[in-house]
Amino acid sequence: MKTVTTWVLVAVVMFGWAGKTLAVKPVCTDRPFLNVTTNPDRLDLGMAPFMGPLELKAALTVEVEANCLHGPIYLSATPLNRQNGHSIGSERISVRTAETNGYVAMNRPVAISKPAKGSHKVVVDVKVDTPAGFPAGEYNGVFTFMIMPPV
Residue 50, pLDDT score: 53
Residue 24, pLDDT score: 42
Residue 49, pLDDT score: 56
> Are 109 and 76 spatial neighbours (Cβ–Cβ below 8 Å)?
yes
Residue 44, pLDDT score: 79
Residue 74, pLDDT score: 95
CATH no., domain 34-147? 2.60.40
Position 8, amino acid: V
pLDDT per residue as tens, the chain (151 positions): 444 333 333 333 333 344 343 434 445 567 888 888 999 888 877 776 554 456 678 889 999 998 889 999 999 999 999 888 888 899 999 999 999 989 999 999 999 999 998 899 999 999 888 877 777 778 899 999 999 888 7
- Three-state SS for 50? coil
Residue 20, pLDDT score: 40
Start-end of H helices in 23-149:
none
As beta bridge partners, residue 121 has 63
